[in-house]
Amino acid sequence: MNKHINNFFSLENTKHRTPLIRKNFVSKKQSNFIQKKRPVIIIPARYHSSRLPGKPLKDIEGKSMLNRTYKKCIEVLPKQDVYVATDSLIIQKHCQDFDANVLMTSSSCLTGTDRIAEACNYIKCDVIINVQGDEPIINPEDIRKVIDAAIKYPGQIINGMATIETEDQFFNPNIPKVVTRPDGKLLYMTRAAIPTTKSLKFEMAWKQICIYAFPVDCLKSFAQQKNKTPLEQIEDIEILRFLEMSYDVRMIALSGSSFAIDTPEDLEKIREQLKKDKTP
């Protein structure tokens, strides 16, 4: 069976690309085999990042950021169950270089979660595991924990979190802070420094780890919103759309060893870290 879904044409119109028109013939038996996969990992990848243009392709010690993230994901699931979702032909070509499956989406997706919602129209599964493409040192064990939680709590949205260790992390607006109910359900997520004392000091807090499990029906409802919801728009945190749509989000504790790259400074930090790790 040809397990790769990265050879297809992209037809242009004024706003959208028609995705997944394959060059290779796939039999009905093969198609049914692909459609029964559960779960699958989708890595959204956007070339035109405002803070770090071309971010997924940035080199980190000889491999692109996206390639490193993909390699971590295929430690958890087989290659045929890991996809990159993008609207960029540059990223598509790059993924072909390391033999990754690609799902082409339109360029009008509001967020990475909207991109995943569109991409999941072309594969059939019970749950989508979303791993962000800017997590090159993500812990595969954390991905497994999210998958296990999705199996334990079927039909629920799952997101990861980890303890904040330093004041620098606590006051960093690039790190979303998590507040939960006693049962682990998300109360709120924000770029502000919370929870804090009356004198605005750091005592303890949790940060978001960007690994998610989404039931397909929840993703479809999410993508039906044609605009970002008010709090999502203010905070620029996608998971808030689910809260504003009255969905519960179950937060689970992860290792916190990942490092999301949002800025050129973040990129230099991860390059230095990996360089040191290679030093005997």
pLDDT in tens, 102-146: 999 999 999 999 999 999 999 988 899 999 999 999 999 999 999
* Mean pLDDT (whole number) for 2-7: 42
Q: What is the dihedral of CA 216, 222, 226, 227, to 10 degrees?
A: -150
Q: Is 269 within the bounds of a domain?
A: no
Q: What residues pair up with 84 in beta bridges, in sequence order?
A: 43, 102
Average pLDDT score, the chain: 87
* CA pair distance 87, 91, nearest whole angstrom: 8
pLDDT at position 203 over 90: yes
In this structure, of 35-44, 132-141, 161-170, the range with the lowest mean pLDDT score is 35-44
Predicted confidence band at 19 (pLDDT cuts at 50, 70, 90)?
A: very low
Q: Does residue 279 form part of some domain? A: no
- Residue 164 included in any domain: yes
Structural domain of 89: 32-263
Is it the case that residue 14 has pLDDT exceeding 50? no
DSSP 8-state symbol, 55: G
C-alpha to C-alpha distance for 133 and 220, rounded to whole angstroms: 21
Q: pLDDT tens across 49-92, in order? A: 777 889 999 999 999 999 999 999 999 999 999 999 999 999 99
**Residues with Cβ within 8 Å of residue 19, at least 6 apart in sequence:** 8, 10, 103, 104, 105, 106, 118, 119, 122
Residue 22, domain member (yes or no): no
Residue 279: its pLDDT value, please?
52
Domain with residue 70: its CATH number is: 3.90.550.10
User: Which of the four pLDDT bands, split at 50, 70 and 90, describes residue 151?
Assistant: very high
Tell me whether residue 39 is in a domain: yes
Residues 105 and 63 sit within 8 Å (Cβ to Cβ): no
Determine, yes or no, domain membership for 138. Answer: yes
In a domain, 27, yes or no: no
Residue 90 CB-half CA count within 13 A: 12
Cis peptide before 19 (omega within 30 of 0): no
Residues 6+ apart with CB under 8 A from 22: 5, 7, 8
pLDDT at 192: 98
- Can you give the pTM of this predicted structure? 0.84
How many domains does the structure of the chain reveal? 1
Torsion angle defined by CA atoms of residues 251, 253, 256 and 258, in that order, rounded to the nearest 10 degrees: -50
**Measuring CA to CA, which residue among 43, 32, 104 is closest to residue 68?**
43
Q: How far apart are CA 44 and CA 84, in angstroms?
A: 6
pLDDT value, residue 23: 31
Q: 186 in a domain, yes or no?
A: yes
